[in-house]
Amino acid sequence: MPRVAWSTAAATKGFLAMTRPITLFTGQWADLPFEEVARLAGEWGYDGLEIACWGDHLDVHRAATDDDYVAGRLEILERHGLQVFAIANHLAGQAVCDDPIDERHQGILSEQVWGDGDAEGVRQRAAEVMKDTARAAARLGVRTVTGFSGSSIWKCVAMFPPVPDAMIRRGYEDFADRWNPILDVFEEEGVRFALEVHPSEIAYDYWTARRTLEAIGDRDVFGFNFDPSHFIWQDLDPVMFVQDFAEKIFHVHVKESIKQLNGRNGRLSSHLAWADPRRGWDFVTAGHGDVPWEPVFRTLNAIGYEGPTSVEWEDAGMDRLHGAPEALALVRRLNSIASPAAAFDAAFSAR
């Protein structure tokens, strides 16, 4: 049965929602130096960053071993009035379970992880990077790492050729076998891993998310990075997901998608590039699509979520220098929907 973990925190704290930090995920900005992204985010008024572990933004091996490097990253943040609330390693995480490993992965992985391209070697090296990511997070004073898991069975999503139940079962077993040793390190470091429920991951919708938790024994250290943009084009209710997985919402992405299903455009988007009007759905700047943001934020209030609301800007049809501050303004408004200190009808019985 779905687990609903409602909290009374919002009602008892009054203006809980206004305390949530608003951060910028730096993954789509990794072509810019870390210093420049911090400058921009600080000038726009963000509270902090969700730092991506690629580009020059964060080298997890150095952060896990080099005190001066950690101090330098933190000094840059402080100079621009920012904090770090989460770090993100989606790219290395993707390679931990993926099958096949191919040229797509070579394009997103470091030379050290790719190595000679031998698939199992890539997976093993990616797993070691994820362990270092937990160590780096702890040294930065960060409690949450966001990322991807990869999946050996995403290729079976169309269910043809016919997929034996045993093959799907082995996929979840493979995930557990590869990720439990990584999660052991997260546990040792006091850091949580927030898997982004996303196409091509072991958890990509409601029921696969539930099965993923079951596969690893519902470990306390493992939860979800809630990103409603991936729910919209699948016709899933993001509010229901927040309600039912309340205890496992470790982090929140504010990212938007829009459906463009018109009888010609298909849900699987026909191998077309982002922003092509023939796609059945696309990513857009937050506030320009189909995510029901106000119900989502009211539900985050209801479950007592106090973590970051992190803007992940993706919009092939809008300049990011316009989209990122616009999204910040939206989240400020949504975070101002604070739970009242008393029920609205309490005054009816006042004497």
Residue with tokens 């997070």: 137
Retrieve residue 149's tokens. Answer: 């898991």
State how far the Cα of 114 lies from the Cα of 107, in Å rounded to an integer.
9
Question: What are the helix (H) ranges across the chain?
Answer: 9-13, 34-44, 60-65, 67-79, 90-97, 103-108, 111-114, 119-140, 165-189, 206-215, 229-232, 238-244, 293-302, 320-335
Tell me 276's DSSP state. -
What's the CATH superfamily of 9-349? Divalent-metal-dependent TIM barrel enzymes (3.20.20.150)
Per-residue model confidence (pLDDT) at position 339: 67
Is residue 69 within 8 Å of residue 59, measured between CB atoms?
yes
* Count of Cβ atoms closer than 10 Å to residue 310 Cβ: 27
Do 113 and 161 meet the contact criterion of CB atoms below 8 Å apart?
Answer: no
Tell how far CA 91 is from the center of its chain.
12
What pLDDT is stored for residue 12 in this prediction?
41
Whole-model pTM: value is: 0.94
- State residue 19's pLDDT score: 81
| Domain boundaries along the sequence of the chain | 9-349
pLDDT at 349: 67
Q: What is the DSSP code string of 144-170?
A: EEEE----SSGGGTT--SPPPHHHHHH
Cα-trace Rg, the chain: 20
Helix (H), strand (E) at residue 251: strand 249-254
Phi, psi of 48, rounded to the nearest 5 degrees: -175, -170
Helix axis angle, 119-140 to 165-189, nearest 10°: 30
Q: What is the DSSP letter of 162?
A: P
- Residue linked to tokens 């190595």: 115
Q: Tell me the average confidence (pLDDT) per consecutive run of 10 residues in the chain, 351 residues long.
A: 41 51 98 98 98 98 98 98 98 98 98 98 98 98 98 97 98 98 98 98 98 98 98 98 98 98 97 97 98 98 97 97 98 88 67 60
The whole-angstrom separation of Cα 79 and Cα 100 is 43
Upstream peptide bond of 100 is cis (omega within 30 degrees of 0): yes
Question: Which SS3 state, helix, strand or coil, does residue 166 take?
Answer: helix
